């Protein structure tokens, strides 16, 4: 009986660790900083007056995590498979990413590849959204310190990060459950 419990526990832990790996806080910040710097340069070079700043979105990360089994779902986002094309989507304001735990043959993505979702627009990048002008001169709302356009409110940002604590709590609870079961054996 104890051996069966150990096998079940090992299988459960294996499934848990085969699930996608989320980016840590430093990786998220570095990704956003780099993307926004690149978007700024691209906007200046191409005379785009309405390029929006990206922020990291935990809700999009959770959706990306749920797709780590290669089942890509539609929603209010674009699945980023071609980094060079999609990161330039002028009106996108949010991004969330995950690291694939295994090969995704249906999308030709290797194990460890990054799967990102960008929102809130569900159509692919097009220059039809471009408004000519200097950096930040054609923003529909506020202007960020970087010169890129900002949309949304502080409360939207607060909501988007609320899932991070839940994810960490569930991982911790699962780990403690595993330790408890091991102690019982």
Is residue 143 domain-resident?
Answer: yes
Is residue 172 domain-resident?
Answer: no
Is residue 174 domain-resident?
Answer: no
Residue 94 has φ and ψ, to the nearest 5°, of -135, 150
Q: What is the CATH number of the domain that holds 83?
A: 3.40.33.10
pLDDT at 14: 43
Whether residue 97 has pLDDT greater than 70: yes
Average pLDDT over residues 82-94: 78
Residue 134 CA from chain centroid, whole number: 29
How many structural domains are present in the chain? 1
Query: Which pTM does this prediction carry?
Result: 0.68
pLDDT at 177: 57
Is residue 11 domain-resident?
Answer: no
Q: Looking at per-residue confidence, does 78 or 17 come out higher?
A: 78
pLDDT tens sequence across 136-169 = 999 998 999 999 999 754 333 333 333 444 444 4
Q: For residue 31, give the nearest of 91, 102, 87 by alpha carbon.
A: 87
The least confident of 34-43, 127-136, 153-162 is 153-162
Contact 118, 94 (CB under 8 A): yes
Domain residue limits at 74 = 20-163
Tell the burial category of 42 from Cβ atoms under 10 Å away from its Cβ (0-12, 13-18, 19+).
middle
What is the average pLDDT score of the chain? 76
Whether residue 116 has pLDDT greater than 50: yes
pLDDT tens sequence across 66-86 = 887 778 888 999 988 666 666
Is residue 173 domain-resident?
Answer: no
Selection from 25-29, 47-51, 181-185 with the highest mean pLDDT? 47-51
pLDDT at 79: 87
Written as six digits, the tokens of 8 are 């079940």
Q: Looking at per-residue confidence, does 181 or 55 come out higher?
A: 55
Is residue 7 domain-resident?
Answer: no
Is residue 75 domain-resident?
Answer: yes
When pLDDT is cut at 50, 70 and 90, the band that residue 172 belongs to is low
Written as six digits, the tokens of 155 are 């409360």
Other CB atoms within 10 A of residue 125 CB: 20
């Amino acid at each position: 009986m104890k051996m069966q419990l150990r096998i079940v526990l090992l299988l459960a832990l294996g499934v848990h660790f085969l699930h996608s790996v989320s980016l840590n806080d430093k990786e998220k910040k570095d990704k956003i900083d780099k993307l926004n710097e690149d978007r700024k340069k691209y906007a200046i070079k191409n005379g785009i007056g309405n390029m929006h700043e990206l922020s990291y979105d935990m809700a999009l990360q959770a959706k990306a995590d749920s797709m780590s089994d290669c089942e890509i779902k539609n929603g209010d986002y674009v699945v980023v498979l071609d980094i060079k094309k999609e990161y330039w989507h002028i009106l996108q304001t949010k991004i969330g990413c995950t690291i694939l735990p295994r090969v995704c043959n249906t999308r030709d993505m290797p194990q460890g590849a990054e799967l990102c979702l960008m929102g809130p627009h569900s159509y692919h990048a097009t220059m039809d959204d471009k408004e000519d002008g200097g950096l930040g001169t054609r923003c529909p709302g506020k202007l960020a310190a970087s010169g890129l356009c900002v949309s949304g409110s502080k409360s939207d940002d607060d909501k988007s990060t609320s899932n991070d604590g839940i994810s960490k709590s569930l991982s911790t609870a699962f780990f403690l459950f595993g330790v408890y079961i091991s102690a019982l054996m």
